[in-house]
Structure formats: structure tokens, C-alpha cells
Structure 1
């Protein structure tokens, strides 16, 4: 095991002082000069460094450039802080040390290039610490920015890394086993891409990577200046750590897009704003696990999953959320598996956005059995002592807006003692195929303050618009007018695989369920050993405003319901064994099945009247009714 101390880093830096400098000047400009411990670069000059160089003073005039030879990068640190480098253009990938005068312990590190390609772009990564299968790769690291602590080829302990420039990474681990113990990483300044990890504090990439981050303190402020990224099959385990990211300032000429190589802000069509996520999980087969940690973004999202396949995001006994008014806790896309056990979420907008088409999300308790199973499945490496020290906890969600939002198909399971407190609907389904399961046998509860448990509605995302060949976020949602046209080929009494379905078991529910779809999709509800007090009905929805764009993104999903007979929006209710529905207002169904001991009733002191296709009908347990079913309370 090789030990790299702070002393050896300083010695290495000192040995390069006064290294040969090779100026590459334009035909008309005077050559750059280096006198003693100073470098001066004149306007119009390109000053090429052949090796890492330490000076006491660096002066660069406007139009002057510091460059490295082909196949290398150059990074400026002053007193151990990476600084001075900014992107040369909006949407670009290259950075340049800015004009100015820098004094102190000034080091220009010439390191081997680390080009990372994402889709159509190649990003020239620079990083404080580069680790591969052979250990710390000094030739690709900017070790003058790694302060204090102790470095070996298998671990970094108590180091600190600070950056005030743009697009500088902290730790980059590729196809290696490595451990970060108690690092302190502080970044101020913009990144460029959290799909590639360009500008992130910590990146673990490659299927041979197991990266353990223990006791970290990571704080960033900047556009897509992400805290932790797991990519390309890596297994990243974060425990006992704190990660907090804050928004930066977007370039004045940035144009919001959904094209991921150029995306630097959240698509507003999700009902969100912001320009930095705390973490991201990408690639194929990557895993990210957060144990006994705190992860907060200002807005946008805390724990994200983007693209790829076979991704697994796991949260155990952690605190997750947003410090601003909008944002999500987790994001589930593709066939991602997202598991949240024993954790507290304090989110601006949603606990999870389910983007589909085959995402699987579970919120539950961190029982010893569940955590031990995850330890084995995900190869977390937790010792018996660590497992024993994790207390069994339930999960609690507090959301300033909705509980969960579907704008893609997916499966959602809530069980154990999970409690969902939301200002608005617990489940916001924007026209998607769903399989929602809520098991209240261990105390799970749903508490929507606006009294709506499930809102099914048309997708109000206007989508991007192609502008000059690019997909830009300039669409406008316009509220439809007029009545929906009946689709004679769609059966509102049947159960289809594409319907929005939800099952509730052994739980007491108080709240309403609305299907406001205009096109063919049924809401299919099953209640087993449960009680529900509220309205269950087809409805017509209406937004508070007639048009929605980026300026009033927060109006997305905000609808009122007027109950009415179904057109293409059937409501199929199965009232199973041991279940009771107390109807609190006029409800329109298309199919209603009651178990032998099921009860449908009006609140005490009121009378329930049921009609089927206009005929008053005495509803009986053990029977099934289909057609235009109306339940009124008087």
C-alpha cells in the first residue's frame, strides 16, 4: 500500500517550480515572460506549460491564455483551492483560466487528460483525486487541491477539497475499490453536466467500482454542481454523511432544453424549478445506497435516477428533501428500483416522481430483516455491528404539495408504518398505467390536507418544442374546452392493463378519489379489510388558469373536480371482505362489486340513494353492478 502524505505532495509541487515553460505566441504578440517566481501572460498570448509549475504570482491579461500540451489539462490552485477556471461558452465543454492576478501559493498543475464522453459531447474532466484499479493515479490528479488528511491507494481519510472555479471534480473513482472517510468537499461555481458528472464532488464509475463514502460533508453551490454520482455499473455506498446542494446562476444566454447533453436546469413541465440535484444515478446496472445520511437539494431533486437500465437506488434511515419550495425526494425512470426504508422526507413537491415505463418504488420500514437482505443483495459490506446499530424505523413523508406523481407507468408500494403527509393529493396520476398498493396492517397512513387521496387526470405536460433543430422547453399547456367525445370502442366497465389501479388493504382512509380523464382510462380501486370515507367518482377537472408555461409552472397538477357521469373515464370499485365505504357526496361509478360482508352507507343521520342506469336500486352485499351508477347522499 502506497502512502501519499501532504508533505510528499508539497515536495512534488516544489520540485516542479521553475519548470521549462514553452510559450506559444501569436505572430504579432510579444512572448509571455516568467521572471523568478512569477508568470506574466500578455494580451493575445497562449502560454503552454510542459510541466506542473509553482509560482508566487500569476498575471494574465485579457485575451491571454494558459494552455497544456495535447493530451493534458491545466488546473490552477491558489493556497490549495482550485480557482479561476470558467467555461469558454454556454453549452460548451472547455474551460479557461480567466484573466487576472493570482497571488500566494500558486500552482499550475499539468495532468494527463481524462476525457469522458456522454452521447454527443466529450467533457475534459479535471479532478483533485483520480483513482483506478492501480490506486491513486497521480498523473491524472490535481493533488495540490487535496488538503490535509492521509491518502493511500485504497482510502482517503480526513482530506478536504475546495473549488471556486467551474467544472472541477473532487474525487473520480473508475473501476476500483476505494473508501472516502470523513472528506470535506466544498464547491462554489457552476458545473456543466450531471449526466456525465462534469463538475461533481464525487463520481464513482465502472462496473468494477465499489466506492464507500463514510462521514462525508459535501456542500456545493452552482448550476449542476452535483454532490454524488454513480455511473456505468458502479456500486456507491454513502453512509453517515451530509450532502447539501444549492442552486447557482444560469448563464444569461442559457436556453432550457430536454436534450440531456445540454440540460442544466430541471424541465419546468414537471412542476418544478431549480438547476442542481444533490445526487444522480445513471448508466446500466449502477447502484447507489444512502444509509444514516442527510441529503438535501435546494430545489429540483435530492436523489435522482436518470436513464440507463437495471438501476437501484436505496435509502435507509436517512433524512432527504429540499430546502426550497419545490423539488422531489427521489425520481424513478426506466426500470429503476427505488427503495426507501425508515427514512424521513421533507420535500417541496413530491416524495417520488415516477416517470416509468417500468419503475418499481417501495416505501416501508427499516426492519433488521429488510436491511440484512439489502446488505446481501446490494453488497453494501455492512458489518454485523453496523447492522445491529441501525434502529428499525418507519418512513415519514412531509410534502408541501403532492405525495407521489406519475407521469409514466410504474408500481408503487407503501407498507409498514409509512406515513404520507401532503398538502395536496397523496397520489397525482397524470394519465398513466399504475399499480399502487397500500398496506395499512402495520400502521401506514395517508393524510392529504386537501382531502384528495387519488387524483387521476390528463397529462398537462405540453412537452418540448423543436426550435432550430433543438428540443427546447418553450411549450405552452392550454386547457381543453368543450365536452370530451365518447370513445365507443372503450369499455368504462372493464378492467384494462393500462388503467390507473390502486389497492388498499387493512387501512382506514378519509379522502376522495377522482378520475378526470377525457380519453379512455379507468380508475380501478380495490379495498380489502379497509374503510373509506369520501367521494369516489368520475369528474371533470379544471386548472386554475387556462394556459401554463415556464412563468407559472407551479399551476401544473392544480385542478378542481366537478363530479359527473363517466364518458371515457370509468370508475371501477371492488369493495372487498371486511370493507366499508361511507359515501360523503355524489359519486359516479361504472362498476361496483361488493363482497358478502361489505358495506356501503351514508354518514350517520343521512340517507344513501343509488341508481343504476337511472333506476333506483337497493345495493346488496355480495352483488356486482355495472352501468351508469350514481350514489347520492341526502
Structure 2
């Protein structure tokens, strides 16, 4: 085994950036050669590189190995581009420089090891730039991968970072305040785990960390090669930046899983595909804010919160997009708060998937942006605040608006417009709270004519296969009529029900509750106009058995209005509201204010029965039971 002196790396750990790049040394000819700036490693040989070394040529034969001493990492750059490093196996955390011949301005950087524990594994991070509360830590950085610009302990300006290896990080900030001004980051090749940021372009982590990214261009392509990660209670602020990620190629033996330690693709059970998210927000009370920026993912998702609690995700005047045919704008989980002010969503599948978050779509008014600036410590100057134009949020989705597969709330206000080719709100049997205030011009425009669809949760979930949690479940459409639950009151609102309140808005579209189990849909309208069917229903998928091959069929149902069993529909028409009925509707409770009205479309006559008895519809009255409203 050839060994290059370890003494040099210990000196370099505290030296200047220039001193980190030491000249190569001559190795023993019997186990390898380093002559005239060249190193060759033969088959069966292991070369331990003990200090940062520059070369003109590096050759590693098949079966040869090159590594750093224990407690250190080794990174290969060629002409400033990290390259050659591959994960040792599917699901592995460690990497190894691949056999081959490398030519050019070669640098083998020996850096102090940076292990990050997650999910029972230790991920050996390597990063171009490592920053903590003291500033740039050269001993942990691969400075040969930092090209151009200016680098200080407070900021990096106009630097360029490139990688075509695997699981290499760009900038890792683990303490203090740091600013990345106009970085250009381009990574190609797979990452490994976006629940810890292994392989991401930018990571900010730690409760004492404030990371500002201004004027960045980040372009990644690779499975889980995330652009921006905020973790560990950090405050990450991205502004005036362009972020885009594209899918990579997963290993041929990768098996899709929701085990977060090994997960490298989107769970198809959410009716999405893809293998890279543009961003991820993790940890406890972490904050990520995006201002005047463009965030695009080819698939999976653009803005995500995951594996954390009480995080805050905000976007102001941003483009949030999916460039491919599947994906979401945002994902909300773990009591996250998500604020979208003046944003434009151009998404493939959902504006938001909600599994335990509070999501707000609104305008980027001066007051709203100023409040975020104060509450989240964004550090925007008076000039920056003044330069942010007031805009409404506009969602354009090629499928649904918001989908729930966990409890959560959505608030729509200002001039927000939700355009979706399918249902605006898709609730998969969850406790939901929706508030829509149309006084500022908010509008809901479902292309399929359904504003709210409640169905059974058709997520088949993962299954254990040979001790591994795999995305291999199968959804099978229930058959037969649901059995009546005598203990569930379909005329009252329960804490676990789906509720929606609409104020000062004109709505055209239908509302269906197709739950088989006990969940009511409770709708309240104030000073609003509604035209459509509001009813309990029986839903049916286009196919009765859905596997991973039919993942696009999840959420796709047709409705047959039918009497409620365990799926009550409660409608309250408050002051100034009018419901124009367009088809037979089955309710369990109807409450009308003194000036509310129920009319038929196009002047047709509306009639009502309650428990089979013809009953006049009178303003100021309340009705409960098996209610059927028909239009002549």
C-alpha cells in the first residue's frame, strides 16, 4: 500500500486557502507511481492520500482503490469540477473514486471528515465550502472546487461550483450568518438523501444559522440532487434567484420506498412521479423563504416541507413550477405554515399536497410582506421592500388544486385565482378546514366543474417486502353499499369533518362528499352566490385496481349523487347568500338565514323533501334529515 505523508494534511488544516493545495509527493514504485505530476494505482492496490495533492494525470485501474486516512475524506476535482466519485452501492452512504484515467488540473483534496447521522446511517459529507460560526472552515472544505469570485468569512461572491460526481455538496453552512451573492452552481449526477441534504447544492442547518442566498443560479440534474435544504432550526433566505432541478437516473436495482433513509423518488401513491425535489425544509422550527425567485422541478416537487415540525415556508412573488408532467408546487406536513404571497404556480399535479400544514394563498401587499420580513427575520431593507410589486397569487394546475392525504387547512384570500383542470379541492377522507375570502377578487375555476371532492383515501400505502418498506401497495375499489354507522350523526359538524367557509364570492361548480366512512362535509356561505350541485355521492374510479402502473388513476373519480349514509352534507347559507341548484342534491342539514335563498337554474322550480315528505324551502329556517333537493 502506498501512503502519502499524513503530516502535511495536519498542517494544511489550519493553513491558508493557497496552502491547502500542496504539491504531489513521490510514492513507492512497488505500489504505484507519482512521477512528473502523475499517479497510477494498479489493480488490487490501495493508495492512501494523506495530504491535498495536485496532479496532471491520475490513473486508477479496475480493482484499484484510492482513499484518505481515517478521519478524513478524499475528493477529486479536475479543472475545478468535482468528478469521479460514485456511491459504492444502491442505498449506501459512502462514495469511492471510480477507476479510470483523469487528465487536466487535478486536485485530490484531503479534508477533515464531516459525518452527518440520519436514520441509522452516517453520511460522509464532502462539500466545496464549509462554513460555521467562525466563517469558512478550510479544513472541511474542498476549495479546489470553488472557482472564481471572492471568498471571505462573511460572504462568497460570484463563485462557481460544478460537480458531475455523486453525493457532493456545494455550500454547507452549519452556524453563524453567511451570504452567498450571485453563486453559479451546476451539479449533474445523483445525490443520495434529501432528508439530510446529502448531495445538495446549498444546505443551511442549525438554530444559530442564517443563510442568505441572493442572485443565485442553481441548475441540478440527478436523483435527489436537491438545490436548497434548510434544516435544524436554521433561517434560509433565497432571493432574486433561479433554481431548477431535473430528474436523474436511479440505480437499476433501486426499489421505491418511503423509508426516509433510503427514499430517492416520489411516492407514486400520491399520484406523482419524479426523483428530485428542488427544495426541502426539515427539522424543528426551521424557516425557508423565497423572494422574487423562480423555483422549478421537473417532477416530484418544487417547494417541500418534510420530516420536521412547526417549520415555516414562505414565497413572495415567486414562480413555482413543474417542468415535467407530474409534481406539486408545495408539500405541507408536520404543522408547517406555508405562505404564498403574489406567487405564480405552473404545476403539473397539485398546487399543494397537505398532510398537516396551514397553507395561505394571498397577495403580496406591502403590509403582508413587511409582516413576514419582521416575523421571519428576512432582513429585507426598506428599499427592497419598496421594490417588491404588489401581486395576486395565480395557480395554474394541469390536474388538481389542493389535495389532502392528512389533516390540514388552506386559506385563500386577496385576488388569488385557483385554475385547475380538475377539482379545486381534493380531500382524501381527511379533516380539512378551508377558508375562501372573495372580497379581494379571489376566484376558483375548476375545469371539471367540481370545486370540492371528498373521497375515500385511495393511497394504498407501502408494504413490507422481505423486511423492506416498499411502495408496492395496491388500491382496490370498495364494493357493495357501506353499512350505516348508527353512532355517527350526519346532521352535525364533528371535529374530524371536512369544513369550508366561503365569503363574498361567486362560485360555479359542484361539491361532493363520497366518503363511505364517517365524515361530513360542512359548507358555510356568507354573502356568496353558488351555482351547482351540493350533494352526498357515490364515487367510482376509472379502474377498480390501481397499482404503480396506474398511478395516474389515483384521485380520478366520477360521482353519482345519492343519499347520505355516513357522509353527511351540511349547508349553511348565511346572510346575503343564494344557492342556484343545477341538479339533484342530497343533504343532511340545510340552514338558511333570513335573507338567504335556494333557487333553480334558469328560473326552474326547486322542490325539497325531508325524510320523504315534501317541504317548502323558507328563508330563516333550518332542516335536518334525509334532504333531497330537485330541480324541475
Q: Which TM-score applies when normalising by structure 2?
A: 0.97
Match of residue 237 from structure 2: 237
1:121 shift after superposition? 1.0
1:476 aligned to 2:478? no
Q: Alignment partner for residue 462 of structure 1, among 453, 460, 463?
A: 460
Asked if the contact 1:19–1:51 (Cα under 8 Å) also holds between the matched residues in 2, the reply is: no
For 1:410 and 1:180, the matched residues in 2 are separated by: 34
* 1:366-411 CA distance string (max 9 Å, x none): 1101111110100000100000010111100000000000111111
1:281-430 correspondence runs (5 A): 281-356=281-356, 359-430=357-428
Match of residue 5 from structure 2: none
For 1:21 and 1:538, the matched residues in 2 are separated by: 79
Indicate the SS of the match to 2:483.
coil
1:21 shift after superposition? 5.0
1:581-592 correspondence runs (5 A): 581-592=579-590
For 2:120 and 2:335, the matched residues in 1 are separated by: 24
Indicate the SS of the match to 1:431.
coil
For structure 2, the 5+ residue unaligned runs are 1-15
* 1:391-434 CA distance string (max 9 Å, x none): 11110000000000011111110000000000000000000001
1:143 aligned to 2:150? no
Asked if the contact 2:281–2:287 (Cα under 8 Å) also holds between the matched residues in 1, the reply is: yes
1:133 shift after superposition? 0.9
Asked if the contact 1:20–1:51 (Cα under 8 Å) also holds between the matched residues in 2, the reply is: no
* 1:322-377 CA distance string (max 9 Å, x none): 00111111110011000000110000011110011xx2111001110111111010
1:605 shift after superposition? 3.6
For 1:308 and 1:447, the matched residues in 2 are separated by: 33
For 1:117 and 1:75, the matched residues in 2 are separated by: 20
Asked if the contact 2:27–2:33 (Cα under 8 Å) also holds between the matched residues in 1, the reply is: no
For 2:594 and 2:623, the matched residues in 1 are separated by: 14
For 2:547 and 2:119, the matched residues in 1 are separated by: 29
1:204-243 correspondence runs (5 A): 204-243=204-243
* 1:104-132 CA distance string (max 9 Å, x none): 10110000001011121110000000001
Match of residue 496 from structure 1: 494
For 1:354 and 1:406, the matched residues in 2 are separated by: 5
For 1:567 and 1:267, the matched residues in 2 are separated by: 32
Match of residue 24 from structure 2: 18
1:306 shift after superposition? 0.3
For 1:241 and 1:230, the matched residues in 2 are separated by: 16
For 1:17 and 1:136, the matched residues in 2 are separated by: 23
For 2:151 and 2:25, the matched residues in 1 are separated by: 26
Match of residue 97 from structure 1: 97
Match of residue 551 from structure 1: 549
Asked if the contact 1:430–1:460 (Cα under 8 Å) also holds between the matched residues in 2, the reply is: yes
Indicate the SS of the match to 1:557.
coil
For 2:169 and 2:190, the matched residues in 1 are separated by: 11
For 1:19 and 1:294, the matched residues in 2 are separated by: 47
Indicate the SS of the match to 2:384.
helix
Runs of 4+ in structure 1 deviating by more than 6 angstroms, as ranges, are none
Asked if the contact 1:20–1:49 (Cα under 8 Å) also holds between the matched residues in 2, the reply is: no
1:506-517 correspondence runs (5 A): 506-517=504-515
For 1:371 and 1:389, the matched residues in 2 are separated by: 11
Indicate the SS of the match to 2:199.
coil
RMSD of aligned C-alpha atoms?
A: 1.0
Indicate the SS of the match to 1:89.
coil
For 1:80 and 1:234, the matched residues in 2 are separated by: 29
1:13 shift after superposition? 5.5
Indicate the SS of the match to 1:443.
coil
Indicate the SS of the match to 1:374.
helix
Match of residue 3 from structure 2: none
Match of residue 613 from structure 1: 611
Match of residue 519 from structure 2: 521
Asked if the contact 1:20–1:50 (Cα under 8 Å) also holds between the matched residues in 2, the reply is: no
Q: Alignment partner for residue 503 of structure 2, among 499, 502, 505?
A: 505
Indicate the SS of the match to 1:482.
coil
* 1:244-267 CA distance string (max 9 Å, x none): 000000000000111000000011
Indicate the SS of the match to 2:441.
coil
Q: Aligned pair count?
A: 617
1:12 shift after superposition? 3.1
Indicate the SS of the match to 2:386.
helix
